[in-house]
Every structure is written in C-alpha cells, then in structure tokens.
Amino acid sequence: MKLDKLDKILSPIADTLSKNKVLAAIRDGFLVTTPIVIIGSLFLLIANFPIDGYADFMAGIFGQGWSVYLERVTAIAFDCVALLASFSIGYCYAREKGLDNRISAAAVALVSFLIVTPQNHPDYLADGERAFSGFSFAHLGTAGIFLSMIVAIISVSIFAFAVNKKLVIKLPEGVPPAVMDSFAALIPAAFSMIFFFIINIIIANTSYNYLHNLIYEVLQAPLVGLGKFALFEVIYQFLSTLFWFFGINGPAVTNTIFSPIHKALTLENYEAAKAGLEMTNVFTAGFSDFFCNFGGGGSTLGLVIMMAFLAKSNRMKMLGRLSLPAGIFGINEPIIFGLPIVLNPIMLIPFILSPVVNTIIAYLATIIGFIPVTSGIQLPWTMPIGFSGYLITGSLSAVILQLGLLVLNMAIYYPFMKLLDKKYLEEENEKVDEVDELDELSFDDLSLD
C-alpha cells in the first residue's frame, strides 16, 4: 500500500516534468549537442592522452605543435556549445509548439542569441591599440549556456505567437515551398529579433552592460554553485533511481533540471584545464556517469554478474547471462523490466542504496585526493567500467575505485538477490498436478455403427 501511495505522488510529478514543453525542449536540445561535444572530447583525449611520454612520442612523429590542429576541433565543440544550444533548443521547442517551419524558428533563436551577445571588448586591445571587436568564445561557450536556453525559449515563443495569430505573409499557390516558408517566417522573425534588440538596448544602459552578465550573475552562477553543494549529486542519483523503481525513466525526468548544471560544471573544468588552472568541480557529467552507476540506473552491473554466475533459479541465471553484455555498456532495461526491479519491494533498498553509496564514496575519494577531479572530457555514457575511469581522470586509482565500488554493489545486492533467487527457485520446483482432459480421452470404445 505504501508503494502505491508513493507511486501516486511520483507519477504525476514525473509526468508533468516529462511533458513540460520547455523542459523537454531543453533536454532534447542538449541531446542534439551531445554527439558534437563527445567528438570534441575524443580530439581532446587524443591531444592529451594520459600516458607519460605520450606527448613526446607524438611530437617525434608529427613534429612540435602537432596538437594544435586537434585543439581547434575541441575548441569549436566546447567553446561554441551555447551557440549550438541556442539553435538546437530553438528547434526542439518549435517542434513542441507544433510549428511547421522549425528550421526558421531555430535560426531566429540563434540570431536572437547573437543580438544580445557582446561584440565589443574594450578590455582586450588588438594591434594598434584598437579594442577587439567580434564574438568571443567566452560568451559562446560555458558562460552563455543558460542565456542561450532562455533566449531560445523566448524567441521561439514570440515566433510561435506571431504564426498562431496569422501574422505571416501568404504567397499565392504555385510558389515553391522553400520560398513560401521563407516569407512566412519574415514577420514572426522580425518580432523576435526586435524584442531582443530592445532588450539589448535596455540592459546596455544598466550596470550589467550585457544580458550575458545579468544572466550569469543572477541565474547561472547560483545554479552552478548549487552543483558544487556536497548533496547535489546524491539528490540527483536518489531521485533518478526512485523514478526508475516505478517504471519511469529517471534520468529522462531529472536531467531536465540537473543536466544543464552537470554540463556547465564539466565545461568549467575544461576551461580551467585549458588555462592551466586547477580543476575544482567534482560533480561533472563524467563523475555522474562513471562513478555513481555501473551498468545503468541503480548500479545493477554487480547484480547482473551475480545473477549470471551465482543464481540457482533458471529464470535469474538466464536473464543475467542474457543481460550481461548490455549491462557492461550501461544498458539495464532487461533487468529493470525483466527481473523485474520495477515495483519489486525486495529490490527497492539495494536499487536505491547502491548509487547513493557510490556517489558518497567517490566524492570522498576525490576530496582526499585518491582520485583526480574528472576532466572536461565527455565520454559516451556507454563506456565500460575500467576504461571510463582511466580515460576520464588519467589515473589508475580511478579504475581501482570503480572495481571496488562494483564489489561493494555486489555485496549490497547479494542478500536481496539470494532472497529473490530462492523465491523463483521455489516457484520453478513447485509441481502443480494438472490433469489435461485430453489425456483421459480414449478412442477405444469409439464406434462408427
């Protein structure tokens, strides 16, 4: 009964968050930028592979300055992430609003973001003592993430309002669709761009000078500060796992709020490393992906391993062996819904406890210096245990920590797994005597006379 009551509380919350158009657009918009950031991370990894003597070895083959070409790709992927997000979030929000001309709406979101982005930098003088003029990576990257989100949502909202009010130019039939769409977007685009043109003038006459400064100081800095709070990741892991227990994709719900903070913290570490400064943010995307959960939500890799090799019931043994390859790469839906873990009170405690314990121990291990702070590199979340720990930190201690946490997860799951295994084994061994009526049917006395 208690589970039913909790389900009634959580399900509406999850449903509201997952169906909220703004949050869904932000979540999906960041997913659009993820492949670009991951590819940029791979270039960053190649340029700074964590092996002693690697840089000298590569320099001996390709010459000094070999990494400059790689760093160019990395810089574009990381330092333009806000610019990319303004376009992708704008597109996704246009989709949520049901607009047909989504590309135009996304383009307007990008242009609106650039309208409020500083183009004059009096603090930086170029040759001839002239102030640098143009867009800077500082505003198109980490520091502009939250502003890009806000601008994209507002600009597309204005665009959609104009479209819904039929404030569009209609051309006669027979005009090519591309031309028709272009003219149809003219007035809605003008409304959005004029709005941010006015906003830019207003903010320019305040102490903030630019909207970037206002949003960063008022919104982004406090939220990123929240991400540095010791319980930030614990709360995230707890909520994500709790939603999973009720059959709701936890990260799909919680990432609408936590993912932008994770991304900002990760990119701050990248910026610090690029500037030769110490990386200080613990709760990055890499930390969340590779030290809090192994094998998917609930850190079920240890459970899958024990099911495959220690379970006695055929049900758990076969499910474990079939799920192990996917579990190694962080996919555990077969266990979530096949064991099942969803609404299974026996598995509730270890399922929620394991990622929380992992988070606390990994955090303490980082604080005391046993493992380094995770770098700004973003690896695919499917990277297997061991490889991910080393690549994200450059330290073998991280691999040791991952393996130790995996063993600890197995210890947490073990008594509950044995209890469930015993239950399933009893069900398999239970013999039910059912007499099929067809077995008693005889044709011996059948007569055709």
Which 8-state DSSP code applies to residue 255? H
CA 99 – CA 212 distance, rounded (Å): 28
What are the pLDDT digits (tens) for 189-209? 999 999 999 999 999 888 888
What's the CA gap between 130 and 9, in Å, rounded? 60
CA 60 to each of CA 42, 55, 63, 67, 440: distance values in angstroms, whole numbers, following the listed order: 21, 9, 6, 12, 85
Q: What residues are paired with 132 via a beta bridge?
A: 121
Please tell me the predicted confidence (pLDDT) of residue 435: 41
Looking at residue 434, what is its pLDDT? Answer: 44
3-state DSSP assignment of residue 67: helix
Report the distance separating Cα 131 and Cα 204, nearest Å: 18
Nearest-10 crossing angle of helices 102-115, 186-204: 20
CA distance 34 to 32: 6
Query: 360 near 234, Cβ under 8 Å?
Result: yes
Return the structure tokens found at 436. 């099929």
Which among 295, 388, 370 is positioned nearest to 335, based on CA atoms?
295
* Neighbour tally for 396: CB within 10 Å: 13
Neighbours of 334 (CB within 10 A): 19
With contact defined as beta carbons under 8 Å apart, do 113 and 149 qualify? no
Residues of the chain with pLDDT under 70: 1-18, 50, 52, 122-132, 142, 220-221, 223-224, 226-227, 247-248, 252, 256, 431-449
Q: How far apart are CA 395 and CA 382, in angstroms?
A: 19
φ and ψ at residue 2, rounded to 5 degrees? -65, -40
What tokens does 181 get?
Answer: 């769409």
Question: Hey, is 65 helix, strand or coil?
Answer: coil
* Residue-wise pLDDT tens digits, 109-150: 999 999 999 887 766 655 556 666 778 777 887 678 788 889
Residue-level pLDDT at 63: 80
CA–CA distance, 140 with 154 (Å, rounded to integer): 18
Cis peptide, bond prior to residue 188, ω within 30 of zero: no
> What is the end-to-end Cα distance of the chain in Å, rounded?
64
Token pair of 326 as six digits:
């996917």
| pLDDT tens figures, 434-444 | 444 445 555 45
3-state helix, strand, coil in the chain (%, to 5): 70, 0, 30
Residue 338 near residue 319 (C-beta atoms within 8 A): yes
